[in-house]
Structure 1
């Protein structure tokens, strides 16, 4: 009997304790709202306990863990509609606190989601840097978001994507939230920038210092020629990182066909050749009337040499092109231009020794025959020689005119070639044209 009375007393006291637990909640929320202009109480917020004259909190609220109390009340009142809890609810109505059934969702909507929406409105994108924090006192931002470490929050969302509630996932998708930054950079920035660069300049040899839409002396780079979202894109630096650090290799492989059509070359040899080496050789010819460049020649720091070539070790570079096979593919590609300026000495020997002959040997070894398809291009992979990567070997085999330029070398290596299955004994050398005067 005594045991039953004790149990009953505990139940009675327990039923009375819950509303007492929230007795100061409405009062504390009123003061919080007066001071902050909103009801988004941080979970860890505790009412100040000091007794100073500038403490405007009523004495009965001091020390109250307001954030935890508020969350506990919403959870409890949602599952239980006892008279005591309803009384507290009426008190909250009186101070203007909204009827919230899901405190976490309310916080999400009014703080994190509101901050993300504001960031997008101000910045025009969703690439929130990890260090970004919502500025205090900035009226562009909702008050509940002031001081929020949004960059940290964004990284938490990305990390916890698989466990986020559906409403958060839906909100983020509608907002265009960036789950994988590299995806966004490649699809929304890099590829559109390369396409536009090609449209404007007719090629994809992007200078390392190039920044989209900055104008200056380059009239083609005027802001109006670029979409607003690409203004300030450091495309030259991006392209350099793609080449030097194999950045975005997955995306380069995925969009390889389009990059090829755009004329984008992963090797910086192509860019250096087009922007520096070939222009330097052509400039030497214009100035000196020939291309017999001494090995010790260094481009002088004076006109008529372009400033971007000053100090270049052109003699050393020219020697390595002729003797070592440097820029082999570029020499082959621009053979006619080099022929016009007289830079052909030993060029064919280099092409044959470092390119065609090793490529033919590798083809016969790999495929067991000499039936090279007309469209065959040497793959950039083992076991193909590095110097021959990208070489249009099929076109060389099928094109008599191309082979005639190498007639002397074909004759010298005839036995070796015939052992592989290449029978070109009747190739006649193309003689240089004599001037009419």
Structure 2
């Protein structure tokens, strides 16, 4: 049989051993080995028992001993000349072999029978995503919670290398970037569903995170915006400044983009509904166009007609910065807006909605200029 022939695999297949040095990093094995031979890579034969015993099994054992996991990157090749690795394994494309091995399993094909026992002994990960979640993501979230008592992890957070407060296997892991992908890209959805109870214990749920963001950052920023500017019509490009006038937790957030997504994509719709009275109290603007029409354009039209007694505005007219014009209207290119309403249908929804009021103040955007002049003259005399 094969095993006796290979002398019980020559003792090369061992149980996981201690790391060969005291350091370990997720980053170290993130790509192709830094030291490579000028010669061609070894060819992969999935069913070669001798290659398994002499190259593959020792490579897996060494990788596990060094990195404390078996998430071998697809491009990883055993480095040449590294004494930490058995010499016969140098140059072997271990990452590609692992990828092909998983492909066999996923396609329902036979695995090399002589390797099955050894793969079970080292707990070879068949599902890379699940294994990464189990080894890095979930332990990282739990440890962050233990240290900080919350899971509001900044996007740029990386587990500090050399920090004994963290397991060495997590050093260098981009936990913040991973969590951001989970929040906005729905990554690890299946894994999160399986670990729902554990995530609930540390307060990491999509709803819990969203609620904290709303209550600690977004709504306080909206309240401050209203106090600073006298309104709550947040423009898209607005970013909360790093100023003592603003809540420190909100510094740097793109409040304008958040508000735009609330308006257009119904982000935070449940919390906005819950706090609708508070939003109304600060005058939060859901529709900038409606707000501009109601509180800027209509008052300007009313004032124009009261002053000039006509429903026609020349294209070059700009509201002057003086009484009796409302402050919100001053500087408004009212003539340009008037022509856009007539010729492009701008604000058509609001024009139709407020047609009776517009008629009452003498504005008909469909009537011709000379007709308007005649009507105003008749009304005057």
Question: TM-score, normalised to structure 2's length?
Answer: 0.50
Structure of higher RCO (CA pairs closer than 8 Å, 6+ residues apart):
2
Which is greater in Rg? 1
Question: TM-score, normalised to structure 1's length?
Answer: 0.44
